[in-house]
C-alpha cells in the first residue's frame, strides 16, 4: 500500500550543477537529459542506464502536468517523453513545446510501446526528433541520445555562424529552410543599402595606441551590429571602420525602408553614448556618418573555388557608399527615392534638401537629402 502511494507522487531528480546554467555540447555527456514518464520505476531504470553510459545530468518528473514548468526552468538539452500518460499526454506536451519559442528547438525522443505508424507520424508532426520502443534497450538508448545531441550541437554551430551576418531571428529562419537563401543561385532583388562609417578614424589610429584602437573598433562595431540586428538587417561587409547592412535581402521585408531608417537612428543614438565615453577617456571627438540608397541589385555567392563571399552588387550599394563618404558626424545622407519612402517617419525640421549632388565615381547627379536623427 505504501509503495502505491509513493509511486503516485511526481518524482523529480535534480541535475548536477552546470556552469552558468547552460552547457556547451563539446562534451555530450555533460548534456542535461530530462525525462517525463508516469511510471517512476521506468524513470529510475532509465536514469541508471544513463549513468552507466556516463550521462551525468538528469532531471525527471512522473507528473506530465508539470512538464512544461520543468522544461522552462531547467532548459534541458534533450527530452525523453512518454506518449501514453494520464491527464496530460505526450502529444499535449509536444504541442505546448512547439508553441513556445524557448522550447520548440529542444529535441524530443519519444518513448512508446506502440508499434503503429499513426502514433509515430503524429509525434513527428508535433516535432519529435526520434523514437525509442519500450522496454528501452540500454545500448540503443545511449546511441540515440548521442546522435540527437550531436545533431543539436551541429545545429547550434550553424546558428552561431549565421548570427555573424544576420539577426538571431533570421538565422533561425535560414536553419529551418536549408534550401534558402545562401544556397540559391545569384538573383536580382530590390535592396535598401545602408553604409555606416566612423568619422575621423584615420586620426584616431595615428594618435591612439594600437591596443586601444582595436578595443574601440570592437566597441563601435558591436553597437552598430546590435542596431542592425534589432531591425533584422543583414550584414554584408565589415571593413576598416565601415559597415554595409542590407534590407529586403536575402529575405523579403515589406517595410525595408522603415527598418533601414530606424536602424540609422539607433546606430546614431547608440554610438553617441560610445563617442561620449571615448571623448572622456581618449580626448577624441568623433561620430558616425551614414548613407542610404535603394534600388535593384544582384545578390549571390561571388569568388573563387577557394574563397566565396555572399554579397550584393549594384548601383544602390555604390551610391550608399558615396553618400556615406560625404556624410558628416551624426548625419544621414539619403537618396530621394529612399526619402520618399520614409518621409512620414522623419520630422521635417530635421531634413534638409541638398539638391542634385555630384557624387564621386557617378556619371549622373543624385538628389540627396540630409537628415539629423
Domain stop point among 132, 163, 194? 163
Q: Which residues pair with 65 in a beta bridge?
A: none
Residue 72 neighbours by CB under 8 Å, 6+ apart: 100, 102, 103
- Pair (346, 203) in one structural domain: yes
Claim to verify: residue 202 and residue 81 sit in the same structural domain: no
Cell numbers that stand for 157 in this block = 554551430
Shared-domain flag, residues 224 and 120: no
Closest CA to 288 of 278, 299, 302, 297: 278
Query: How does pLDDT run along the chain (373 residues), one tens digit per residue?
Result: 333 323 333 444 444 344 444 444 455 678 899 999 999 998 998 899 888 888 889 999 999 999 999 999 999 999 999 988 888 888 899 989 888 878 888 899 988 777 777 777 777 777 788 888 888 788 888 888 888 888 877 777 766 766 666 666 656 666 555 445 555 677 899 999 999 999 988 888 888 888 888 899 999 999 999 999 999 998 888 888 899 999 998 888 999 999 999 999 999 999 999 999 999 998 888 999 999 999 999 988 777 777 767 788 999 999 999 999 999 999 999 999 999 999 999 999 999 999 999 888 888 899 999 999 8
Structure confidence at residue 172 (pLDDT): 64
Within-domain flag for 89: yes
Cis peptide before 357 (omega within 30 of 0): no
C-alpha cell, 310: 555572399
Helices marked H in the chain — which ranges?
Answer: 2-7, 40-52, 67-74, 90-98, 117-125, 138-163, 168-176, 201-207, 210-230, 256-282, 315-326, 336-342
Rounded-to-integer distance, Cα 278 and Cα 285, Å: 8
Give the CATH number for residue 214: 3.30.70.1230
Residue 175 lies in a domain: no
Phi-psi region at 330: left, alpha or beta (left = phi > 0; alpha = psi -120 to 50): left
Peptide bond preceding 250 in cis form (omega within 30 of 0): yes
| Structure confidence at residue 169 (pLDDT) | 63
Show which of 99, 132, 163 is a domain's final residue.
163
CA distances from 67 to 21, 76, 132 (A): 19, 11, 19
168 lies in some domain: no
Say which CATH number the domain at 122 has: 3.40.50.2300
Asked if residue 295 lies in contact with residue 312, where contact means CB atoms within 8 angstroms, the answer is no
Q: Is residue 66 located within the same domain as residue 6?
A: yes
pTM of the model: 0.61
Domain range enclosing 120:
2-163
CB 230 within 8 A of CB 263: yes
Is residue 300, in this structure, part of any structural domain at all? yes
Domains identified in the chain, total number: 2
Q: Grid coordinates representing 254?
A: 515589406
Q: What is the pLDDT of residue 3?
A: 30
Residues 151 and 207 in one domain: no
With respect to residue 273, please indicate whether it lies within any of the assigned structural domains.
yes
Please give the pLDDT value at position 230: 92
Residue 178 lies inside a defined structural domain of this protein: no
Residues 199, 154 share a domain = no
Q: Are residues 157 and 293 in the same domain?
A: no
User: Is residue 90 located within the same domain as residue 194?
Assistant: no
* Residue 174 counted as domain residue: no
**Are residues 139 and 269 located together in one domain of the fold?**
no
Domain match, 92 and 213 both: no
d(CA 256, CA 233): 9
Q: Are residues 199 and 296 in the same domain?
A: yes
Tell me whether residue 176 is in a domain. no
For the chain, how far is it from start to end, CA to CA, in angstroms? 74
Residues 148 and 190 in one domain: no
Amino acid at each position: 500500500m505504501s509503495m502505491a502511494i509513493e509511486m503516485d507522487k511526481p518524482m523529480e531528480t535534480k541535475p548536477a550543477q552546470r556552469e552558468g546554467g547552460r552547457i556547451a555540447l563539446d562534451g555530450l555527456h555533460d548534456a542535461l537529459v530530462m525525462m517525463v514518464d508516469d511510471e517512476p520505476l521506468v524513470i529510475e531504470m532509465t536514469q541508471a542506464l544513463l549513468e552507466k553510459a556516463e550521462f551525468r545530468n538528469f532531471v525527471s518528473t512522473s507528473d506530465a502536468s508539470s512538464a512544461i514548468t520543468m522544461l522552462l526552468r531547467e532548459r534541458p538539452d534533450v527530452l525523453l517523453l512518454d506518449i501514453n500518460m494520464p491527464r496530460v499526454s505526450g502529444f499535449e506536451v509536444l504541442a505546448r513545446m512547439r508553441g513556445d519559442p524557448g522550447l520548440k528547438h529542444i529535441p524530443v525522443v519519444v518513448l512508446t510501446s506502440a508499434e503503429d505508424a499513426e502514433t509515430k507520424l503524429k509525434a513527428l508532426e508535433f516535432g519529435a526528433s526520434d523514437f525509442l520502443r519500450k522496454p528501452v534497450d540500454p545500448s540503443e538508448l545511449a546511441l540515440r541520445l548521442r546522435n540527437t545531441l550531436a545533431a543539436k550541437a551541429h545545429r547550434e554551430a550553424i546558428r552561431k555562424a549565421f548570427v555573424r551576418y544576420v539577426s538571431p531571428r533570421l538565422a533561425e529562419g535560414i536553419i529551418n529552410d536549408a534550401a534558402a537563401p545562401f544556397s540559391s543561385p545569384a538573383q536580382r532583388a530590390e535592396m535598401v543599402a545602408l553604409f555606416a562609417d566612423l568619422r575621423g578614424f584615420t586620426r584616431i589610429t595615428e594618435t591612439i595606441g594600437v591596443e586601444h584602437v582595436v578595443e574601440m573598433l570592437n566597441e563601435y562595431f558591436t553597437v552598430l551590429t546590435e542596431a542592425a540586428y534589432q531591425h533584422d538587417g543583414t550584414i554584408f561587409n565589415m571593413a576598416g571602420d565601415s559597415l554595409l547592412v542590407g534590407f529586403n535581402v536575402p529575405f523579403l521585408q515589406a517595410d525595408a525602408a522603415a527598418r533601414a531608417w530606424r536602424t540609422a537612428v539607433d546606430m546614431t543614438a547608440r554610438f553617441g553614448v560610445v563617442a561620449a565615453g571615448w571623448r572622456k577617456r581618449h580626448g577624441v571627438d568623433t561620430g558616425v556618418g551614414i548613407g542610404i540608397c535603394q534600388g535593384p541589385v544582384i545578390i549571390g555567392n561571388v569568388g573563387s573555388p577557394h574563397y566565396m563571399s555572399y554579397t550584393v552588387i549594384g548601383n544602390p550599394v555604390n551610391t550608399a557608399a558615396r553618400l556615406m563618404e560625404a556624410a558628416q558626424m551624426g548625419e544621414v545622407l539619403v537618396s530621394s527615392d529612399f526619402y520618399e519612402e520614409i518621409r512620414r517617419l522623419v520630422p521635417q525640421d530635421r531634413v534638409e534638401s541638398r539638391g542634385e549632388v555630384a557624387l564621386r565615381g557617378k556619371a549622373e547627379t543624385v538628389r540627396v537629402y540630409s537628415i539629423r536623427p
